[in-house]
A and B are shown apart, each in its own frame.
Chain A
Amino acid sequence: MHTIVAIKQVPDTTHVRIDPETGTLIREGVPAVINPYDRHALEMAIRLKERFGGTVTVLTMGPPKAAEALVECVEQGADRAILLSDRKFGGADTLATAYVIAHAIAAIQVEDPADLLLFGKQAIDGDTAQVGPGVATRLAVPLITYAMRIESLDPATRTAIIHRRIEQGIEVLETTLPALLTVEKEIATIARAPLPNLVRAAHYRPETWDATTPVPFDPARIGIKGSATIVSKAFTPPRKEPGERMSVAESGLTRVVGQALQRLVTAGVLSSAPATAPRDESNA
């Protein structure tokens, strides 16, 4: 069983702050992490390896620094890691990104065909959720997005049963393999990396592929050149007139809350009757 996992290194958005003076992003000190969904995808691949034997390959397209993320994947249990890194890959939109990843996966498969391709459901830096579908489409393999459970998988008959979250509930799908799944976090809970992995990772250097070696990429389809979209402008959203503001420290708790309630009553947003609106069941 060979599983290929695509991962992305992203800024940890929970540490991102906005400078209130300038309204811009404070980038300093924002750590880079593996896109959280991708870690769960990798964990799923490792579970499958434990069950069926075989290998797990991880790959990422990114700057040289993204090699750190790949080493972390080896710690977690990946066997082989490939960094697709070249200035010419830079500035890619999802169309060009998916081309590069699909082309690389096709090249890996020449020697070692994959049974399963795993992607995160989305990357938290841009949240486009387009790269996985783009790669599946280019490789002409079945696509299952928002996968949350692998009910069964049979490498011999090359079929799998996958649970997928949709608005109406959970869809149970049967697919042929190889297939590409984009996964939710529930797909697998992350276990602590065993010691031998840590030892191996300490000496591991990911392979680096650039735009020409070991496989040539079509120069017209990578980076900015291969992108269909461009950012024409970026701007801060227009500010509204600030509203009325009260301070507990200045006016006291009871008074401030009383005034606020009064305003809500005047605005007609408080029904004076107790709650009769549909209750939020999932609150319970």
Chain B
Amino acid sequence: MTETPDLGAPRIWVLIEQDAGQVHPVSWELLGAARRLASELDGEATCVEAVLPGYGVRHLAAEAFRYGASRVYLLEDPVLALYRNLPYALGVSRLAQTYRPEILLIGATTLGRDLASTIATQLETGLTADCTELTIDPKLRILAATRPTFGGNLMATILCRKHRPQMATVRPRVLPLPEALPRGATGEILAVELDLREADLPVRRLRLIPGAERLNLEHAQVIVAGGRGLGGPDGLTLLRQLADLLGGIVAVTRPLVDAGWISADHQVGQTGKTVRPKLYIAAGISGAVQHRVGMGDANLILAINRDPEAPIFQIAHLGIVGDLHEVIPELIRQLQTLRAGDSP
């Protein structure tokens, strides 16, 4: 890739993440965001394009067109059959050096975080991780990436002024899934040679030990969540009883994971999962911003906290000021009565 192509219009790129030919939905969420950013920039003039690395993945380009990509850079090679940091990063970085996208968006998944950091280093550019909002700065006409920060109950908007591409990662489910265009939407496929040999790659996958069934918090309709107010692992038992009655899943705040009470896949928040259930019960959770960004979009939030000043009440639709060790057993009792009355 030595010759410089006619760069033409500015480009926004989205990395399409796939595993065994299945696209991770976060890629479509990002394409939706890219389209919105393009129209904020200057409407028609900016191209939204997708980068698709893998092997035997050409058929996925059609899907990328349906989510709004006008061009798909197809990086197909046997060395890309399974994700590995080096060949994936080199492939995308070289492509970016040739086509110079303005913006490159990647899902903040395990794969995406690993890959994005490496690409940003290879391209010597800025990367904002785990953004909760992407917009165009109206004055500077560049990407404004917002993420919660440790500065306290704060959000920070981060800019990358001089380096290109401007890179950002976004967690799954933070952005809405856009509507797909009707079938038949098309675009251009540009197949790119990778030019890497297996023998030159330092890491090889020997095997995969499949994980237990994934806990699907992201798509749960009912979530019963607890925080430090549970007081100890026993409090979790109480939550599980309520969750079972409601057909819901148990979630927690980060300190509970850090304390080893429960596995990390139950954590909601900035460094956990983003959820959008119909009902989110938050018991003994103070409502720190890092937790709220993961659950603030729930349809109905019921907070139970004995501190009337707890910030969780600012976002709860329904709040109960009281001790969860009284309130939850009573909830369970009344629910059982309700259910008993329902059945003939």
Contacts and interface: CB of A to CB of B under 8 A. Distances in A.
B213 to A, nearest CB: 6
B39 interface: no
Nearest to B263: A282
Nearest to B215: A282
Given A18-B153, A146-B110, A277-B247, A272 B203 contact: no
Contacts of A253: 322, 326-327, 330
Instruction: Say whether chain A's binding surface is mostly helix, strand, loop, or mixed.
Output: mixed
A259 B172 CA distance: 35
B322 A249 contact: yes
B197 interface: no
B342 A234 contact: no
Contacts of A18: 152-153, 286, 288-289, 311
Contacts of A274: 245, 247, 339
Given A143-B114, A237-B289, A283-B250, A263 B89 contact: no
Given A172-B208, A264-B302, A134 B121 contact: yes
Interface string B212-232: 111110001110000000000
Interface of B: 19, 85-86, 89, 109-111, 113-114, 116-118, 120-122, 124-130, 137, 144, 149-163, 202-216, 220-222, 240, 243-250, 255, 258, 263, 265-266, 270-271, 278-279, 286, 288-289, 292, 299-302, 308-311, 313-323, 326-327, 330-331, 334-335, 338-339, 342
Interface of A: 11, 13-14, 18, 20, 23-25, 36, 93-95, 98, 122, 125-130, 132-134, 136-138, 142-146, 161, 163, 165-176, 179, 227-237, 239-240, 242-249, 253-254, 256-258, 260-261, 263-265, 267-283
22 contacts: A18-B286, A23-B153, A25-B151, A137-B89, A145-B85, A167-B214, A168-B210, A172-B206, A173-B206, A174-B206, A228-B124, A230-B161, A231-B149, A246-B319, A247-B322, A260-B302, A267-B300, A269-B278, A269-B279, A269-B299, A274-B245, A277-B247
